[in-house]
Amino acid sequence: MRTLITWCALALAAVVSAAPAKECAHKVKESIPPPRLWVKERPAPKDLTIELRIALPQPNFFELERHLYEVSDPFHERYGQHLSKEEVEALVTPHPESIHSVNEWLASHGLTESALTRSPANDWVRVKVPISLAEKMLDTEYHVWRHTKDDNYIVRTTSYSLPENLHEHIDLVQPTTLFSTLRGMDTTFRFSQDTPAPLSADAPPINIPSASGGKVDASCNTTITISCIQQLYNAVGFKPSGKNGNQIGITGYLEQFANIADLQSFYADQRPDALNSSFKFISVKGGLNNQSIEEAGAEANLDVQFAFGLTHPIPGTFYSTAGRPPFKPDVLTPTNTNEPYTDWLDFVLSHPNPPQSISTSYADDEQTVPESFAKRACNGFAQLGARGVSLMFSSGDGGVGDGDSDPATQQCFTNDGRNKTQFVPLFPPACPFVTSVGGTVHVPETAVFFSGGGFSNLVGVYILSFVSQFLNKLPKGTYAGLFNPKGRAIPDVAAQADFFRIFLSGRIISIGGTSAASPTFAGIVALLNDARLSKKLPSLGFLNPLLYAIGANFPKGFNDITIGNNPGCGTPGFNATKGWDPVTGLGTPNFGVLKDIVTGPLARF
């Protein structure tokens, strides 16, 4: 890489005294090996516009994290005392010196305040620049890269530099080394255009002691409806208020549109009391709301129909975030940075009253996400948790091998140049500040074979007792070297994940995936929030400390799943076992028991 000399700012005191600037050499900020399965095609077009996202350090984040765990721990005296938007922003605001130094650097490249977009806490700065200027600023060269497996294209670099004195004032700049290509978690190999064949009407119900009335309709063994979820998870008869300030949200990406006509057909089929109701649509960075019946999205329809059908009349919001990765070399799309979920995160953090329960059914291989970027994205999720928002993410649909596996051997390899065989977890589900939702199937429930699960290679353990109990039961040497036993373990919980009956483009179809499990669990959380808010209690917020406290002290709050496994990477994967496991987490929810717990012994305030 060439050595570039540029103007860089002096320390703040010197700048204030109007001392002259001095030259400062660039130093590599981040560098990665050429990513596996991506090949460099050609130099990126110099006039292509990209939006650089510059992260300034959050020197007091450790204090925010302390607040987060205190207000989320049901045994702490501060439980439920969530922070305000302003209080959170004050805890992530960079030092003035960092803001000033970055401003000086940007100004030296002709980028003045009018060209910049800042987050409310000033911890992110965004600016649109041509590739030619980005290369000069970052002392790098961008190229068009092609993915050899799916023929997708992306514009990235494998290394970038910053003036040496800016390293302490900038955590990261993207898009640079982030080769993630966000994807939906619907299991398209389970997708069927055919209407599921119902069981005979006189088939006897299935005895499930934890279910509402102790029984579940036999048809739920092959076709999942709203009624099945209510029966199976002991929620029959609960009627949410819909007027106590409670909300539920669904995120949409990749031009997945939630079709209102299909929603009405779904309501007529499964939730007739919700007919003629709809959801609030919010566009993020130009996200569209295409209501053409031909453009209805399977992912979006699945998420919206079950999340909002389960929780009616709780107000629902569907966020449509623009940006459909990957970059197409023949269409120079200036806003395509391939980081749409962080665009959504920026947006929702800027709003004072986001929904208290939000589900996302999109993720990507953790190993395609630089550690610096993963940390900052997680920090954003933590900010929402501290404000009382529960975030659910699908754990993945590839078992222990959600990454790129070799088609011949089905083995999974690291993306760090070593091509080491290793299980591949997903991000953001592996972030410690979100709740990862795995999948089950059938009645009685067993783990569905595609349920994503395992251990993060970026984030450490924070639920030690449950993880250690599982690891202690593993035969010594099992999958040695294939996973990180000290990593953040996923999933946290599970829910039904296959044979969901939805409407798509006017037709009934059957669909599955942990993208069905996440909105389902988010719906249960929204019902729990409704019970709390109706008693003047705060929302649940960041769930994981509460979930594991319930698992340890009130085990009947979850239906423990002990049958099944999640194969991947040429292995059988992990087994579902008694207690927590990296297939179904703590298990599936028993709403009736959980409601009594969160409004009773663990209510607080």
Structure tokens given for 378: 């997680």
Q: What is the pLDDT of residue 13?
A: 38
Of 494, 448, 436, residue with least CA distance to 233:
494
Give the residues across from 319 on adjacent strands.
251, 282
Question: Are 282 and 320 contacting, i.e. CB atoms less than 8 angstroms apart?
Answer: yes
Q: Is 532 helix (H, G, I), strand (E, B) or coil?
A: helix
Of 55, 80, 57, residue with least CA distance to 386:
80
Active site annotation includes 416: no
Omega before residue 567 within 30° of 0, cis: no
Distance between CA atoms of 147 and 40, rounded to whole angstroms?
9
- Report the chain's terminal Cα–Cα distance, integer Å: 58
Q: How many of the other CB atoms lie within 10 Å of CB of 289?
A: 14
Q: How many CA atoms lie within 13 A of 446 on its CB side?
A: 10
Distance between CA atoms of 224 and 215, rounded to whole angstroms?
15
Question: Are 341 and 253 contacting, i.e. CB atoms less than 8 angstroms apart?
Answer: yes
Q: Is 482 helix (H, G, I), strand (E, B) or coil?
A: coil
Question: CA 102, 108, 112: angle at the middle one, nearest 5?
Answer: 70
E-strand spans in 474-549?
487-490, 493-496, 500-504, 507-511
Distance between CA atoms of 571 and 482, rounded to whole angstroms?
10
Q: Is 506 helix (H, G, I), strand (E, B) or coil?
A: coil
Q: What is the pLDDT of residue 12?
A: 37
Give the residues across from 146 on adjacent strands.
39, 153
- Please state the separation of Cα 472 from the chain's center in Å: 29
Q: What is the pLDDT of residue 211?
A: 98
Q: Name the DSSP class of 258.
A: -
Q: What is the pLDDT of residue 405?
A: 55
Q: Which residues of the chain have pLDDT under 70?
A: 1-23, 186-201, 324-339, 402-410, 416-417, 461-463, 604-605
Active site annotation includes 303: yes
The catalytically annotated residue of 89, 104, 186, 303 is 303
Q: Which residues contact 265 (CB under 8 A, 6 or more apart)?
A: 503, 506
In the CATH hierarchy, which top-level class contains the domain 204-598? alpha beta
Q: What is the pLDDT of residue 122?
A: 96
Active site annotation includes 108: no
The catalytically annotated residue of 123, 299, 445, 492 is 299
Distance between CA atoms of 444 and 207, rounded to whole angstroms?
8
The catalytically annotated residue of 451, 515, 518, 539 is 515
Q: Which residues contact 127 (CB under 8 A, 6 or more apart)?
A: 51, 52, 54, 106, 111, 115, 116, 117
Q: Which residue's entry shows tokens 């003045």?
A: 112
Residue 140 has φ and ψ, to the nearest 5°, of -145, 180
Region of 94 (left: φ > 0; alpha: ψ -120 to 50; beta: rest) is beta
pTM: 0.93
Binding positions: 560-561, 579, 581
Q: In this structure, which amino acid lies at residue 162? A: L
Question: Are 539 and 529 contacting, i.e. CB atoms less than 8 angstroms apart?
Answer: yes
**CA dihedral for 210, 213, 215, 221, sign (positive or negative):** negative
Q: Which residues contact 36 (CB under 8 A, 6 or more apart)?
A: 404, 413, 414, 415, 419
Of 370, 33, 328, 343, residue with least CA distance to 178:
370
Domain borders along the chain are 5-58+94-179, 204-598
Q: Is 598 helix (H, G, I), strand (E, B) or coil?
A: helix
Question: Are 370 and 157 contacting, i.e. CB atoms less than 8 angstroms apart?
Answer: no
Question: Are 286 and 340 contacting, i.e. CB atoms less than 8 angstroms apart?
Answer: no
Task: Give the containing element (helix H, strand E) for 457.
Answer: strand 454-460
Question: Are 592 and 235 contacting, i.e. CB atoms less than 8 angstroms apart?
Answer: yes
Of 186, 187, 236, 171, residue with least CA distance to 208:
236
Q: What is the pLDDT of residue 115?
A: 97
Q: Could you tell me where the DSSP H helices lie in 170-282?
A: 226-232, 260-270
Binding positions for Ca(2+): 560-561, 579, 581
Residue 558 has φ and ψ, to the nearest 5°, of -130, 145
Q: How many of the other CB atoms lie within 10 Å of CB of 192?
A: 11
Structure tokens given for 61: 């984040």
- Please state the separation of Cα 183 from the chain's center in Å: 11
